[in-house]
Amino acid sequence: MAKGVYSASQIMDMMNMREGKTVKVSAFLAGLRNTAYCGKIYVEQYNDEEAHFVPSIHEPLISEELFEKVQNIMDGNANLARPNVKILSDDNLPLRGFLVCPECGHLITGSASTGYSKKYYYYHCQSPCGYRYKAEIINNKFLELLQALEMRESIKKYLRKVLKQNFEKFIDNPQHQRKKILMEIDGLNNRLKSARNKLLEEIIDNEDYLEIKTDCKDKIEKLESNLTKVKDKNKIDFPKLLDHALSNVVDLAKVFSSGDITLKRQIISSIFPEKLEFFENHYRTMRPNVLLSYIYQINNDLRAKKNRKNSELSPLSGLVPITE
């Protein structure tokens, strides 16, 4: 849902297809709003104590960042690069919802026609323009595209080294970050304690004390949230995750072919953040994944000459942006 691939209702339907108790819409939506999943418990107002959040004892199931991202989507404040697409259970139409018509720009759908002995699958436009193409051809051309995007072993080794070095620089010593945050929290707690003593000694009035208390608690809450993020970074086995990701890129077409419909659609959405057009036997898109675009250019450096023919590009002139 946070990536904009599935809506809340679609995720709920997938959950209800599993064994166990089914969940109703109201309960599911309430669960998406529950801060306990990101490790924050809401405490209601009591006497002079304002309502506030406190860190939970249990370990958060998701990060606070992911929780807030889902809240923004549910509130209609998120601007996703690509709108939600439909889930299909039919493995013959994995690209349904990812294609737009090259004739009129409308969304391409897909369906099956029943012949004498079997079904024949087609992608076709939802408008009256009449665009219609055999699904087998479009699917096979997409596999060819994935094969052209596969990474060579030599590139994989070099890229692994570069990404690992950059990650180590990016995390900026988690222990140092943690110590710095804890010192800031201690300072705010001391400030709050000092304000409480001044209130008892009638140096400041109740209004000033409440202002200082609110300010300190807000800052402490943000710092505790940052502290959780630093802990999460410590838990990441980056080399293992990197090896897994790069292995998938090396065997991209194989992973796609052997995957179920959900995995196939995840691969499509991760590579192409915007819609695809299938035009004159090849794909076009406004914005492909930048990393995979570079991989394609490296793999095909001999084809990078200015005076190349269109036939040399098939099926990957798809990485050339659509022109208006």
* Encoded tokens for 213: 């208390």
Q: How many CB atoms lie within 10 A of CB 185?
A: 17
State pLDDT tens for residues 273-323.
778 888 888 888 766 666 666 666 666 554 455 444 443 334 444 444 444
pTM: 0.48
The b-or-e profile of 96-114 (16+ CB within 10 A means b, else e) is bbbbbbbeeeebbbbeeee
Domains of the chain, by residue range, sit at 1-80, 108-150+259-319, 155-250
Q: Which pLDDT score, from 0 to 100, does residue 313 have? A: 38
For residue 59, pLDDT over 60 is answered with: yes
Residues 150, 252 contacting (CB under 8 angstroms): yes
Please, are residues 141 and 283 in contact by the beta-carbon 8 Å criterion?
yes
Give 198-236 pLDDT, tens digit per residue: 888 888 888 888 999 899 999 988 888 887 776 555 556
Check: CATH 3.90.1750.20 for 1-80? yes
Average pLDDT, the chain: 77
Question: How many whole angstroms from its chain centre is CA 111?
Answer: 28
